[in-house]
Structure 1
Amino acid sequence: MSAPGEIRNVRGAGQLVLRWEDGEYRLSHARLRGACPCSQCRAARLSGAISVVPDDVRVERIEPQGYGVQLVFSDGHERGIYPWGYLRELG
């Protein structure tokens, strides 16, 4: 899966906008935080733990990782690397 042509962080609206050739995908920051793919968050979801993510959580930084992006959130969480294919699935 290739990278989108454009990535835009719309902090005020709390959305990450990704534009691929077939269209634009908008993902809320809270949805992204709740779907974090890091091992700690995945283990919590697999064990049935439900974590409520506040609507006001925001993506502070986007760090390119080649096959995806690492997102740094306003709650301090920064462990998850979101592969391009995973972001498309979330959209």
Structure 2
Amino acid sequence: MNGAPHAIDNSAQRQEVLLTWGDGRQQRLAHAELRRQCPCAQCRALRLQGLAPQVAPQVRVLRLDLQGYGVQLVFSDGHDRGIYPWAYLAQMA
């Protein structure tokens, strides 16, 4: 998948981000799973050590900040360091 999705919607009620890609495919990503898969250096370092970021099930995406090549997600637990490249999101299933 190349480039940005045609549409991106954050649903607080469903606790998911909905991406609609150029080929019409829709992808639903749960807020908590997005937080667990954060690509920031700190979270990646934890995963490389065989650990996982501790994520409360009630964590929410409060804001999406488009960054051109991806999107920065701001979570209700205060975490906002990760920028999720479009290709990274596309491969999350």
Whether these two folds match at TM > 0.5 is: yes
Distance 1:21 1:3 in 2: 8
Q: How does 1:5-84 map to 2 (within 5 A)?
A: 5-22=6-23, 23-84=25-86
**Runs of 4+ more than 2 Å apart:** none
- Retained in 1: the 8 A contact 2:43–2:53? no
Long gaps (5+) in structure 1 = none
Long gaps (5+) in structure 2 = none
Give the percent of matched residue pairs that are identical in Structure 1 and Structure 2: 54
Alpha-carbon shift at residue 52 of structure 1 (Å) = 3.4
Which has the larger displacement, 51-60 or 27-36? 51-60
Read off the aligned partner of 1:45 and give its amino acid letter. R
Distance 1:32 1:5 in 2: 19
Computed over aligned residues only, the root mean square deviation of the Cα atoms, in angstroms, reads 0.9
Read off the aligned partner of 1:56 and give its amino acid letter. Q
Alpha-carbon shift at residue 48 of structure 1 (Å) = 1.2
Distance 1:26 1:16 in 2: 6
- Retained in 1: the 8 A contact 2:36–2:52? no
Alpha-carbon shift at residue 21 of structure 1 (Å) = 2.3
Distance 1:50 1:85 in 2: 22
Distance 2:26 2:64 in 1: 18
- Count of aligned pairs: 91
Distance 1:31 1:50 in 2: 11
Alpha-carbon shift at residue 9 of structure 1 (Å) = 0.2
